[in-house]
Amino acid sequence: MGEAPSQTGNRAKHVAIIMDGNGRWAKRKHLPRAMGHKRGVEAVRALIRSVEPMGLDCLTLYAFSSENWKRPEDEVDDLMDLMRKFIKSDLPEFIANDVRLKIIGDWQGLAPDIVKSLEDALEKTSGGSRTLAVALNYGSQQEIARAAAKAAAIGEVTEASITAHLDTNDLPPLDLLIRTSGEVRLSNFLLWQCAYAEMLFVDTLWPDFTPEHLQTALDDFAIRERRFGGR
């Protein structure tokens, strides 16, 4: 039996976003691809600042997938350099605004200096009341396999035990997944967590995605009837 449907007027507590379209944004403007990624970081920054006013408890962003290593080396290097700069420049703002940073994925497989910076940021923001979860070197199939192996090791492979060993085990259930740029696929992102999440695919390229776009998505979510398998 599924759970009873909720009433309209839902408040999303946890939103995840597949940030897609940086390269196409740059191409349309006849700019280097790196400029698209740089502008995408600015979009991230603006969105993080909107989390509290919009009442979100958690925002999860797909920043770098385990498959992104297949991209050209210079593009990967640009992304890693942007990550270094972002951590350094925005950490004080996270602390000042009570934001807890959480990293999901095999982030400890990144460059040692990035790992060290992330460990420092995780420690310094651990007391934050709202969460920014960033998926780095992340693949959902790999995450599920790791969780299932851990559950098997303790002799109990159930939905609950797998969920307890996911990277997202301390986050609220996922309410809404958004993907930008017009692509309609999950790209190995939060496959388990999306089981009953609402989904929204928008044509806006990520660098052009604003807090106003997010608010529109939340307004759309609020009027959806969530059935969870029921009628």
- CATH number of the CATH domain containing 179: 3.40.1180.10
Domain membership flag for residue 131? yes
Name the pLDDT band for 3 (thresholds 50, 70, 90). very low
Output the pLDDT for position 18: 98
Q: Residue 33 belongs to what domain range?
A: 14-222
97 annotated active-site: no
Domain membership flag for residue 5? no
Q: What is the mean pLDDT of the chain?
A: 92
Please say whether the beta carbons of 164 and 157 come within 8 A. no
Domain membership flag for residue 185? yes
Output the pLDDT for position 225: 80
Domain membership flag for residue 130? yes
Please say whether the beta carbons of 200 and 176 come within 8 A. yes
Output the pLDDT for position 226: 79
Question: pLDDT tens digit string along 148-186?
Answer: 999 999 988 999 999 999 999 999 999 999 999 999 999
Percent of the chain past pLDDT 90, that is, above it, reads: 88
Output the pLDDT for position 1: 33
Output the pLDDT for position 8: 52
Question: For the residues 31-50, what does the mean pLDDT come to?
Answer: 94
Residues 6+ apart with CB under 8 A from 102: 122, 131, 132, 133, 134, 170, 171
Output the pLDDT for position 228: 72
Which candidate in 10, 22, 57, 68 is catalytic? 68
Question: pLDDT tens digit string along 125-152?
Answer: 999 999 999 999 999 999 999 999 999 9
Name the pLDDT band for 230 (thresholds 50, 70, 90). low
22 annotated active-site: no
Domain membership flag for residue 227? no
Domain membership flag for residue 101? yes
Domain membership flag for residue 170? yes
Question: For the residues 19-32, what does the mean pLDDT come to?
Answer: 96
The overall longest dimension of the chain from CA atoms, in Å, is 56
Domain membership flag for residue 4? no
* Residue 135 DSSP code: E
Which candidate in 20, 78, 167, 175 is catalytic? 20
- Per-residue pLDDT for 120 more than 50? yes
- Tell me how many domains the chain contains: 1
